[in-house]
Structure 1
């Protein structure tokens, strides 16, 4: 079962609240002997200060040494000292603060807000508060703003419980209650499993990378190996540290929660597939284009187009010929891809895509009856599929005008029966990315090969990719998680 410990610097700091067995003084916590039981422990460090080598700093430091999950972590404390704002979306800050400030506050040049576990009482700033907490997970933060023509964040500072007013104490108590309930899990008589693996899914996603039956088969395969595979959603971000690993079965993107989950899992030293570096490399086709060129791997003839350079658009079309294909850098499942048949349609198609991105790719059109998909796990081929083009269409997925999506047929076969040059190219392409789980799309036209893309979050659907391997496909992936989690655990003990 899970245990929650709330650490305060002085017992008087908790004086406004009901006594609780979960609350201990910093001195008592630091004096505690190491507990070797099987209980998961979450520590909320509410010390007055986290200054280097101070009491609050040592609470977080020893919590981590004891194997406890602590907020704030030592890494967060150090990040706050550096005041780095990397990764925060502050582009529309002035607009959001304009809605927040009352009419009489237009002449204000500086002010601050309090954030409790990522929540704020100011609706216009809720998203910013969550982002700040995701970047610097800490119980109480004060975000300070200043205006010099435009609003900007002046500082992000951890704040002590002792400094809150009565009204602020009430607000904090309400948020702490909600937050602690997310941390606690239902007690277990005894752990049945050696490892816990979080599987990030979205039941509402229209085209998920794994269908429901596949998710169930992953859970069953994990159970056979002593891994409890627990489906979680985007609202379970703060529970992530409970697990030994993270398996992302949602379509990944840099600008949504999937990347934040991967990044947090890596910071928590968890085993994670898809890891953040693979997401970063695979989800942008322009990055992938340059990476494959640098490795001298065959790809379709491609030109990168810029929004403010119409001349380059015309010149590229002349070099590539018609028909050609325009792609946005971060499209998935055949979305954001347009086939241009004639020169007179080129500008309109490009302008439509440029509404979403500053750069697009123009690529020669290579028609093949099907694309090869080679699944790769830890630098070894895992499965081989032929994905046929959707009936009467030039892509695998045909996204209809009425919002419907149809895909072509498929053929799954043993890796040994796939062309050797296709498998070799897939392994070379993924070697440039990492050692995770990938799906490599390759076109083969006679003797010519062209690597189309590497997917960091490949489709694994029951009844498609598992047709040849069956349950063994899911078992192999879970075995890789097991191997990595065992290695992590042994490394921690060493």
Structure 2
């Protein structure tokens, strides 16, 4: 079960709130560890100061040594001292601050707000407050601003509970209750699972990497192995510290919350797939192409196009010929990919795609009836599929079609029955990326095999990728999570 422990420096610091058995003084916490081996303990450190080698610092330090999840962590405390964010201009900050300052305060040159677990009383600055909290997870923060020509952050400081007035104490109590809502639930009589795994999903995603039946199979496979797989959403960022691992089953991008979740999980020492490095390497096709070429792996002939480089745009036809394929670097599921048949079409398509990216990829057109997809987990082949082109179309996905014609058919076969050259190249491609879970798309023309892309968040749908392995596909992935989480735990114990 999970236990919440609130640590205060002096008992009087909690005097304005209801008594709670979850509240202990710093000295009591330091003298005697709270919780046994069967308890997952989450500590909220509300000491008056986190000064280096002070009482608050030691609370966070020993909490981590005991395997407790603590806020703030020692890393956060150290980062706050470094002031790495201070003086950084924030987009639209000048407009936001000017907007809500009262008329009489237009000439103000400094200003500050309190942030309680990422929440603030100023709606115009809520996004900024959450951004700062996610950078420096600390229960109570004061963000101070200063203005010379424009507003900027001058400091981010921890705040002591004892300094709050009545209204601020009420606000803090509200946000503490909201933040720790899951931890305040009635605990189970005994812990049923050895590990807790967060599975990041978006129920509203049009083309998720796993359908609902597959997600249920992941949950069932985890249960068999003593892992509680808990679906979470993008609003559960601050709950990550409750888990031992993170499994991302939502389409990833380096500029959205999926990367933030992966980065936070890795920073917390959790097992994570997709890890942030894999997301960065796989979601940008320009980076991935350079990576494959640097490893001397076969890829289609490729040229990089630059916005406003008219000569380069005209030269690419001579280099690659028509038809050719234009791609934006971060497209997924065949989005942002255009087949170009002529000079006129090239100019028009490039103009449209350059609105989304300053660089584009142009690749030779390699037609095949199907693409190979080889699933790879921890540098070992997991499954092999043939994805056939959508009816009357040159891609697997035809986003302009309706109903069942949007995607082509598939054939899932044993890995041993897939061409050896295809599997071998897939393994080489993923070894350049990492040791996580990947799906490698390849094309085979005669005896030539080329890598199209490596997906860090491959499709695993019930009825498709599991057609041959069945429930064993989900079990193997959960077994890899179990192996990694046990290694992490052994590392902590030793």
Q: Please give the TM-score of this superposition, normalised by the length of structure 1.
A: 0.95
The 8 Å contact of residues 399 and 405 in structure 1, kept in 2 or not, is answered as no
Whether contact under 8 Å (1:244, 1:271) holds in the other structure is: yes
Match of residue 24 from structure 2: 24
Instruction: Give the aligned partner of residue 460 of structure 1.
Output: 460
Q: Which residue of structure 2 aligns with residue 424 of structure 1? A: 424
Residue in 2 that maps onto 1:143: 143
1:471 is matched with 471
- CA distance in 2: counterparts of 1:414 and 1:451, whole angstroms: 20
Contact 1:183 1:238 in 2 (8 A): no
* Alignment partner, residue 10 of structure 2: 10
Match of 2:358 in 1: 358
SS of 2:488 mapped into structure 1: helix
Match of 2:58 in 1: 58
Superposed, 1:400-415 pairs within 5 Å as 400=400, 406-415=406-415
Q: Say whether residues 1:265 and 2:254 are aligned partners.
A: no
1:185–1:254 distance in 2 versus 1, CA, 3 Å: farther
Alignment of 1:354-393 (within 5 A): 354-393=354-393
Q: Structure 1 residues 185 and 434 mapped into 2: Cα distance closer, same or farther (>3 Å)?
A: farther
Preserved contact between residue 301 and residue 320 of structure 1 (Cα < 8 Å): yes
What is the CA-CA distance between 1:457 and the residue it aligns to? 0.4
Moved more, 134-143 or 312-321: 312-321
RMSD: 1.9
Alignment deviations for residues 296-321 of structure 1 (CA, whole Å, 9 cap, x no partner): 11111111122232222222233122
SS across alignment from 2:483: helix
Counterpart CA distance in 2 for 1:292 and 1:43 is 45
The aligned counterpart of 1:239 is 239
Is the deviation greater in 452-461 or in 241-250?
Answer: 241-250
Note the 1:292-311 alignment, pairs <5 A.
Answer: 292-311=292-311
Whole-Å separation in 2 of the counterparts to 1:183 and 1:26: 20
3-state SS, counterpart of residue 398 of structure 2: strand
Shift of the alpha carbon at 1:37?
Answer: 4.4
State the Cα deviation string for residues 25-76 of structure 1 (Å, max 9, x = none): 2122212246424122111111111111111101111111122111001111
Contact 2:371 2:443 in 1 (8 A): yes
Query: 1:344 aligns to what?
Result: 344
Return 5+ residue gaps in structure 1 as ranges: none
TM-score by length of 2: 0.95
Residues 57 and 301 of structure 1: CA distance in aligned 2, closer, same or farther (over 3 Å)? same
1:120-269 aligned at under 5 Å gives the runs 120-269=120-269
Tell me, in whole angstroms, the C-alpha distance in 2 between the residues paired with 1:92 and 1:308: 28
Q: Deviations over 1:407-431 (max 9, x none)?
A: 1111111111111111111000000
Contact 1:303/1:363, CA 8 A, preserved across alignment: yes
Q: What residue is the counterpart of 1:282 in the other structure? A: 282
Deviates more, 1:31-40 or 1:223-232: 31-40
Answer whether contact 2:391 2:405 (CA < 8 A) is retained. no
Task: Give me the whole-angstrom Cα distance separating, in 2, the residues matched to 1:331 and 1:61.
Answer: 43
Distance 1:90 1:394, change over 3 A: farther
CA positional deviation for 1:210: 0.6
1:193–1:228 contact (8 Å) kept in structure 2 = yes
Residues 313-361 of structure 1, C-alpha deviations (whole Å, 9 max, x = no match): 2222331222221111111111111222211122221122122222221
Gaps of 5+ in 2: none
C-alpha change, 1:404 and 1:412, in structure 2 (3 Å) is closer
CA contact (8 A) 2:33 2:66 kept: no
**Post-superposition offset of 1:100:** 3.2
Contact 1:34 1:66 (C-alpha < 8 Å) held by counterparts = no
- The alignment of Structure 1 onto Structure 2 pairs a total of residues equal to 493
